[in-house]
Amino acid sequence: QITEDMQNITEAEITLAMNEAKGVSDSVNEENVYSDAYLGKILDFAGKTYYAQIDIANSLLAEKENISSTRSLGVGMTGYTVQTSSMFNTTVGINEGSLYIDIDLNTVSAVSRSGDKESEYRFITAAGVISSYYEGLIWEELTGEKGISTISLLNTALKDNQKLLMLSSANFEAEKSKLHADSATMQEITRAVNAGKIVTIHSDKLTVDDWQGYGYIITDPETGGAAYMISGGLSGGSTSGLVTISYLVNIGFAIADMIQVINMIPTMLSAFSMGGPIGIAIGVVVATVMTALVIAAIYDYISSIQLMIAYMNGDESAGQQLMLNSLFNIGFGVGGALLGGVTKRAVKAVAKNKIVKMLGEEIAEKLLKNVSDPTDITRLFKQLSKGGLSDDAIKKMVENSGEEGLEWLSKQVKNGVSGEILDKIAKNAVDYTKYSDDLIRKIASSNGYADDIIKYVNKYGDDAVKAITKYGDDAAKVISDYADDGLKALNKGVTPTTINNFADHNVTPDILVESLSKSADNFTLDKRISDAVLDMPKGTRPDPSSYLPKSYIDKHLAQFDDGATYLLSYDDYERFYRDTQYIARNDGTLFCMPSNFVDEVKSTANGDLSKLDELLGYDNGFFENADTMVRIDIIDPKKSNISIPNGNEVGANNNWLPGGYTSGGVPEGIVYNVPNNSSYIKVTLLDNALNELN
């Protein structure tokens, strides 16, 4: 859309453009958004609003500097650049793009009423800086989204602690290594310097939302006139982020929202048409003060330009002062902040109304109560929408958790969490703080249980989080099948597989929880559990910690604190263990009893080998031919991971019972891969009555 400023934008022109832009908002949709009847009206309004505002600023600036200024024909182009998707060199889709303004002609003459050439120079330079900044601000005003322009980019670079470089023929060779620009931008800078121009640019590439590149000023040292460029060839500004088609549709509504603020522009234009200081005084005091402050800040930059000109003309001291002062850095920083203040009210008004339309007045008011800048919220909305979240999900998160919830969603989007998952959480979760990165990964990898997981976290809180983070869908299925009892069992350390195995043998989670909740004193294993474990095939039996209380296990293993003992026949010792690396069966395990229990076994058996078989849980006749016995004492069973047998060991026979006792009532444990050396074991020969042999 071409916009012309024929010396000035009149009150009638801006009012007409504004009314036309408002008028199309009721009929626009994604099918007709690109038509001149809609997008053309929006772009026309943007162009006229831009020129109207810089005309106002120039009038204020001229009075401040005692300048008679005349605008020549101004020509600018506003537009929407789309990204397309192609197949076989044919465009098959139109995706999101950027709104832009490209000012091809913006010429203002300046004649000092007092003949002060420096005032003329200051006016031309300051007018250029202000007009550049408005190239980005116009999109902030119309959309509530961040805009970029040369001046805003230089200001952003300062905030990022980048260096601002002022380059000319006097210092280019020495300073160009500090500029890390792409080849196209570097060629443009080199051409400008070789043509005798002064270039002001930041040292490193900037990333602002979806945009990347450089902003730079090419100044004519003779006149103060300048081109304000952003990389890519635009002499203007654009939105920093990509704008979707649906978002374009909503700009018409945004314009209607900001009318109260924009209405001051025709009022001010009308006031200026009265001419002189009297006209300026009508309703524009705030703008006058603000523009004066901007000018004061920009003077530092103008001083730096003048120092550079002197340096180009051979004044080395000016070059030294330029390097020491960096005055233009301060000028851009302060000037940018102040110019942002000029349009802040308009941008906030648009952003606030967008929030109200999306959330409703009550929720929006609650959200905005502690928010200093509504545009921060609208940017979050846009980021979340691009991340795949629906408006309903965003609204629900705001209702439940306010700005903190939005920030959390934003973090997850940046972490690459899918919009589908976040949409579910935002819509259904009561407390988003429960959703750790690990839990979100479980939800993301869920095969059909995502909704259930969120439901269980809502209902059971941290207990559900703990179980699902550990076991994922398996935990969700257990909770689905057994509700509270299943969850309690999971958090007692029973695995989903074990719960299901027990359930197959008619032992439900509540029985396991009851057993695990008992104290060690006078503990008796529930016969239903014991029978279920014995009924399970060897190799599938569960860890004893899934049905024995921890206090019981600890108390049982404490019996081995003074050592553990393994009794076997001398023949078996010679056959299986004398020269091996470990004292262990093929699976690395070895059954044993507490060493201090050997005397009781000896006393009870009283030389009767069949009684010894019974006490130690062997089949009758196991020790029948054992004339000589071997006692192997494990000195420190803890080093060999003493534990309660689970019944899957190679040595677990048909007499094995769950619970840590042999069928003959002797405490038993399992050690693993006991090293066959005197540091770990002591070997003693016994007769078959368990008396030590000399």
Structural Rg of the chain based on CA atoms? 41
pLDDT-wise least confident of 83-97, 148-162, 199-213:
83-97
- Which of the given ranges, 226-235, 337-346, 382-391, 402-411, has the highest pLDDT on average? 402-411
Angle between the N-to-C axes of helices 374-386 and 391-414, in degrees from 0 to 180, rounded to the nearest 10: 80
Say what percent of the chain tops pLDDT 70: 76
Q: What CA–CA distances, in Å, run from 522 to 316, 525, 539, 558, 596?
A: 97, 10, 29, 16, 21
Count CB atoms within 10 A of the CB of residue 168.
22
Instruction: Report the pLDDT averaged over residues 298-312.
Output: 67
CA distance 149 to 131: 10
Q: How does residue 672 score in pLDDT terms, banded at 50, 70 and 90?
A: very high
Q: How does residue 26 score in pLDDT terms, banded at 50, 70 and 90?
A: low
- Which of the given ranges, 82-96, 157-171, 338-352, has the highest pLDDT on average? 157-171
State the pairing for strand pair 90-105/215-219: unpaired
Given a cut of 80, whether residue 494 has pLDDT beyond it is: yes
* Cα–chain center distance at 12: 48
Given a cut of 70, whether residue 343 has pLDDT beyond it is: no
Query: Taking a C-beta distance cutoff of 8 angstroms, is the pair 388, 422 a contact?
Result: yes
Amino acid at position 460, single letter: Y
Taking phi over 0 as left and psi of -120 to 50 as alpha, with beta for the rest, 642 belongs to beta
Nearest of 194, 198, 193 to residue 225 by alpha carbon: 198
CA distance 20 to 38: 9
Given a cut of 50, whether residue 621 has pLDDT beyond it is: yes
CA distance 295 to 461: 58
CA distance 8 to 159: 35
Strand stretches in 331-417, DSSP E: none
CA distance 395 to 475: 30
User: What pLDDT sits at residue 232?
Assistant: 57
Query: Taking a C-beta distance cutoff of 8 angstroms, is the pair 147, 244 a contact?
Result: no
- Residue 286 pairs with which residues in a beta bridge? none
- Which of the given ranges, 237-251, 291-305, 310-324, has the highest pLDDT on average? 310-324
pLDDT-wise least confident of 162-166, 340-344, 548-552:
340-344
Amino acid at position 60, single letter: L
Q: What is the pLDDT of residues 212-256, one digit of tens each?
A: 888 888 888 887 777 878 875 455 555 444 444 444 444 444 444
CA distance 235 to 254: 26
Query: Taking a C-beta distance cutoff of 8 angstroms, is the pair 592, 637 a contact?
Result: yes
Higher-pLDDT residue of 651, 136: 651
CA distance 181 to 178: 9
User: What pLDDT sits at residue 466?
Assistant: 95
Given a cut of 50, whether residue 196 has pLDDT beyond it is: yes
CA distance 229 to 132: 9
pLDDT-wise least confident of 302-306, 339-343, 470-474:
339-343
Q: What is the pLDDT of residues 144-163, one digit of tens each?
A: 666 777 777 877 887 788 88
Nearest of 332, 339, 134 to residue 238 by alpha carbon: 134
User: What pLDDT sits at residue 92?
Assistant: 38
User: What pLDDT sits at residue 303?
Assistant: 67
User: What pLDDT sits at residue 264?
Assistant: 45
